[in-house]
């Protein structure tokens, strides 16, 4: 009864934490979320993506290609919950909750201790790294869940050989969930196969191993076809290529080591403001102690099957992230969360074993309370107020204004601002059939050829492109940009009238819209050729 009650408590807690205010925190709707969501909506309604390509193997997103699984799953959640923010983020939140229970069962299999397993699952639920990526509408959390589920099944297969088959199938499937898993999952599967080849080739395991390899290979057939197209490695520009060999090696190892640095894991957040939370790192500060304790016992028992799996997965998972220019890219290193958090769980369990039960309970309760308090303050209080700009809240608000003015033409500056076409298309409910026509047939007919990306979009009453001050001011329309796109001097020079201003919770101007005055402009500058038209 206590075991069932603890599972129920954990489930209720996770549902609250992962779904509460899901449509408003994170604030706004990041461009990666909107592209996944609008393409999911397009697939749902037309069977084609935004370019008119029927059921792509890889989806073309502003010059790169993303894995398809999250988009196809999101089309289901949008069907169930509607084309809104909740529907866009539902699959990711569900993957986050599933990951918490995966941690619960994994640590219980390791420790056979229900108390520490329950508290460890609570710590996993309040882990900033997991919660952050589980409440956003793109693929990172889903890819992590599938990857870590594959690791768990592989570990369980030592006692249940049939799970070998499932482990390889899940590893293969995870490559369609996220870009990092496309490389990490096959690499880890190969290395684990080599390490445990005697186990896998044993009398009772060989059949399931061969079936798993065959099933994984069949699942990879679409990727094998894509392997010979420019689309497969289109994100290659993210990697530190073109450097002299010695410089490349030094750069790689410098960043690789950083993914095991206590400073990066416990004291500092991801340096990218869009990928981090205020005043909190990817793990809670107090976890630095069980982190070292856990690593001590893992290396002490390094000949055990568990230690080999944890060490191998920990060493392999940061490789793609370390090859990029980012010093600590949490979204690319997401698979590392699995072994690192498990190692912390081992450290927590070993510490609990040294304490008296009642005293141990008290310590765990106190740590959970502190973890939840700091996470709540960072994520639900500071985050919405400080990071709305980085999450594109201004374009969600702009979409509401565009809906209210269907007869007005809007020109939205894209000369220096982030791409916003998908956010506006999603929230203004642009019919995917109409949007597909606006993109033309060139990309659809050369979909996987990695044609140059065009930042300019035109659909319905909206244009997204750089502002042209030589011609835009002579047309009756609203020009939209930030304070640098449209300066006060330009407002006065071109007789622009402010229609609206969008601010963040701190009062900073994020976007402003100005209506042109072509009649007055032409009256003052009547020699301009645009006035004749």
Q: Which residue ranges make up each domain of the chain?
A: 1-23+92-125+239-382, 139-232, 393-532
pLDDT of residue 2: 62
The whole-model pTM stands at 0.95
Q: Is the pLDDT of residue 527 over 70?
A: no
Per-residue pLDDT at 266 exceeds 90: yes
Per-residue confidence (pLDDT) for residue 332, from 0 to 100: 94
pLDDT for 238: 56
pLDDT at 493: 92
As a whole number of angstroms, the distance between CA 35 and CA 468 comes to 26
Indicate the SS3 state at residue 484: coil
> Where does the pLDDT of residue 192 fall: very low under 50, low under 70, confident under 90, or very high at 90 and above?
very high
On the question of a cis peptide bond just before residue 26, with omega within 30 degrees of 0, the verdict is yes
Q: Is the pLDDT of residue 361 over 90?
A: no
Q: Which of 190, 122, 186, 107 is nearest to 152 (CA)?
A: 107
Alpha-carbon span 405 to 410, nearest angstrom: 9
- Secondary structure string (H, E, C) spanning 276-293: CECCECCCCHHHHHHHHH
Residue 465, strand partner residues? 413
pLDDT over threshold 90, residue 194: yes
Task: Supply the pLDDT for residue 532.
Answer: 59
* pLDDT interval class at 240 (50, 70, 90): low
With a cut of 90, say whether residue 204 has pLDDT above it.
Answer: no
Beta strands in 380-508 (DSSP E): 410-413, 457-459, 462-465, 478-481, 497-503
42 Rama class: left (phi>0) / alpha (psi -120 to 50) / beta? alpha
- Residue 514's beta-bridge partner residues? 479, 498
Determine the distance from the C-alpha atom of residue 494 to the mean position of all C-alpha atoms in its chain, rounded to a whole number.
Answer: 42
Average pLDDT over residues 82-100: 98
Of the listed ranges 6-20, 155-169, 392-406, 450-464, the least confidently predicted one is 450-464
| Cβ atoms of 287 and 396 closer than 8 Å | no
Q: What is the pLDDT of residue 533?
A: 59
Whether 416 shows a pLDDT value over 80: the answer reads no
| Lateral strand order in the sheet of 478-481 | 457-459, 462-465, 410-413, 478-481, 509-515, 497-503
Task: Report, as an integer, the average pLDDT of 207-216.
Answer: 96
* Residue 247's pLDDT band (cuts 50, 70, 90): confident
């Amino acid at each position: 009864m206590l075991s069932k009650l603890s599972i129920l408590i954990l489930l209720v807690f996770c549902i609250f934490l992962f779904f509460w205010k899901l449509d408003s925190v994170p604030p706004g709707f990041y461009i990666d979320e909107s592209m996944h969501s609008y393409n999911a909506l397009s697939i749902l309604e037309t069977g084609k993506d935004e370019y008119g390509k029927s059921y792509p193997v890889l989806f073309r997103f502003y010059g790169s290609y993303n894995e398809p699984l999250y988009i196809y799953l999101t089309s289901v959640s949008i069907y169930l919950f509607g084309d809104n923010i909740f529907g866009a983020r539902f699959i990711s939140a569900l993957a986050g909750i599933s990951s918490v229970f995966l941690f619960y069962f994994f640590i219980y299999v390791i420790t056979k201790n229900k108390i520490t397993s329950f508290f460890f699952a609570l710590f996993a639920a309040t882990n900033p790294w997991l919660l952050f990526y589980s409440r956003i509408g793109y693929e990172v959390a889903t890819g992590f869940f599938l990857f870590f589920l594959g690791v768990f099944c592989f570990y369980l297969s030592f006692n249940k050989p049939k799970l070998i088959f499932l482990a390889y199938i899940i590893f293969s499937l995870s490559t369609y969930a996220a870009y990092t898993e496309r490389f990490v999952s096959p690499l880890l599967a190969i290395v684990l196969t080599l390490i445990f080849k005697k186990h896998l080739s044993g009398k009772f395991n060989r059949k399931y191993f061969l079936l798993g390899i065959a099933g994984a290979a069949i699942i990879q057939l679409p990727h094998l076809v894509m392997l010979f197209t420019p689309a497969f490695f289109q994100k290659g520009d993210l990697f530190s290529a073109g450097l002299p060999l010695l410089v490349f090696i030094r750069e790689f190892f410098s960043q690789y080591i950083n993914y095991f640095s206590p400073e990066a894991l416990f004291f500092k957040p991801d340096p990218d403001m869009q990928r981090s939370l205020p005043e909190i790192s990817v793990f809670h500060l107090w976890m630095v102690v069980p982190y070292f304790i856990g690593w001590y016992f893992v290396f002490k028992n390094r000949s055990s099957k568990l230690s080999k799996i944890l060490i191998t997965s920990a060493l392999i998972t940061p490789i793609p992230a370390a090859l990029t220019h980012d010093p600590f890219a949490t979204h690319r290193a997401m698979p590392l969360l699995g072994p690192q958090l498990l190692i912390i769980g081992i450290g927590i369990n070993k510490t609990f074993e040294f304490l008296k039960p009642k005293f141990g309970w008290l310590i765990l309760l106190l740590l959970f309370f502190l973890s939840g308090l700091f996470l709540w303050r960072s994520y639900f209080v500071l985050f919405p107020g400080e990071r709305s700009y980085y999450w594109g809240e201004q374009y969600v608000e702009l979409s509401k204004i565009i809906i209210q003015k269907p007869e007005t033409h809007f020109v939205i500056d894209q000369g220096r601002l982030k791409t916003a076409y998908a956010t506006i298309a999603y929230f203004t409910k642009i019919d995917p059939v109409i949007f597909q026509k606006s993109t033309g047939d060139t990309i659809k007919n050369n979909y996987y050829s990695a044609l140059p990306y065009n930042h300019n979009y035109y659909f319905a009453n909206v244009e997204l492109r750089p502002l042209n001050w030589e011609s835009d001011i002579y047309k009756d329309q609203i020009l939209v940009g930030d304070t640098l796109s449209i300066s006060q001097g330009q407002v006065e020079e071109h007789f622009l009238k402010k229609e609206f201003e969008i601010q963040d919770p701190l009062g900073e101007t994020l976007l402003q819209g100005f209506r042109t005055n072509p009649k007055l402009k032409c009256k003052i500058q009547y020699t301009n050729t645009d006035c004749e038209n």
